[in-house]
């Protein structure tokens, strides 16, 4: 959270990314490829594959077969979902946009951009990348946010965003000569809570389409 706050001062815009039905959209084959890149234990791979494809019993007694997705609220779902995005997003960003910075915790992602034009181009590329990995960005919840403050006085539709339950937005302040200033970011929930940027560990950068061989880099977190 500390890094996110600091980078809001450095970069003019933030892309607030939201995946539509994220947990329900994970491609089973790609999840298994990600797991295989992290372990060569055949039992681990076998049972994760079985768990992914296990049918779902409805309250009315009907059985639903699952061809994709991982149950939201399942014990291992957050780990698999995080591993999926390690490969699908983190490494891709590092390779294609090495000059940019982003924060990600599970499927909650924000990307910092230098300008609104750059943010539009990056957002388009991210949407295409997510489609390659079987994911879709939410059309209304995904948006570009302008970091308005006393230096950046442009007019944009979105001037605030939420990340991990905290609100980032400009707040009014009075300058030395009584003028009205705006400083970004602030947040009633953020103040005094996540003062240590290590509260949320950084996500490892891996590549879903080009996973490392078994025994290679391991995902953090």
Break the chain down into helix, strand, coil percent, rounded to 5: 35, 20, 45
Are 133 and 208 in contact by the 8 Å Cβ rule? The answer is yes
CA nearest neighbour of 11 among 119, 87, 166: 119
DSSP 213: P
pLDDT given for residue 174 in this prediction = 54
Residues β-bridged to residue 137:
19
Q: Which distant-in-sequence residues (6+ apart) come within 8 Å of 89 by Cβ?
A: 104, 109, 126, 129, 130
Q: Please count the other Cβ atoms lying within 10 Å of the Cβ belonging to residue 59.
A: 5
pLDDT given for residue 55 in this prediction = 86
pLDDT given for residue 137 in this prediction = 95
Q: Which distant-in-sequence residues (6+ apart) come within 8 Å of 171 by Cβ?
A: 182, 183, 184, 186
Mean pLDDT by 10 residues, the chain (221 residues): 78 89 93 93 94 87 88 84 93 92 90 92 96 94 81 71 76 52 44 40 37 41 36
CA nearest neighbour of 26 among 110, 96, 82: 82
């Amino acid at each position: 959270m500390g890094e996110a706050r600091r980078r809001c001062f450095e970069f003019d815009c933030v892309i607030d990314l939201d995946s539509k039905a994220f947990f329900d959209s994970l491609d089973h084959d790609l999840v298994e490829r990600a797991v295989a890149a992290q372990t060569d234990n055949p039992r681990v791979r076998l049972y994760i594959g079985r768990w992914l494809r296990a049918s779902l019993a409805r309250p009315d007694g009907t059985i639903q077969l699952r061809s994709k997705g991982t149950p939201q609220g399942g014990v291992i779902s957050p780990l698999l979902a995080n591993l999926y995005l390690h490969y699908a997003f983190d490494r891709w960003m590092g390779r294609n946009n090495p000059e940019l910075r982003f924060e990600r915790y599970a499927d909650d992602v924000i990307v910092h951009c230098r300008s609104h034009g750059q943010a539009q181009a990056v957002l388009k590329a991210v949407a295409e990348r997510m489609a390659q990995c079987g994911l879709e960005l939410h059309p209304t919840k995904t948006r570009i946010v302008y970091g308005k403050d006393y230096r950046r006085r442009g007019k944009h539709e979105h001037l605030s965003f939420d990340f991990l339950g905290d609100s980032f937005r400009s707040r009014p302040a009075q300058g030395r000569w009584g003028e009205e200033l705006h400083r970004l970011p602030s947040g009633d929930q953020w103040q005094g809570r996540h003062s240590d940027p290590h509260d949320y560990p950084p996500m490892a950068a891996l590549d879903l389409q080009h996973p490392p061989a078994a025994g290679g880099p391991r995902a953090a977190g």
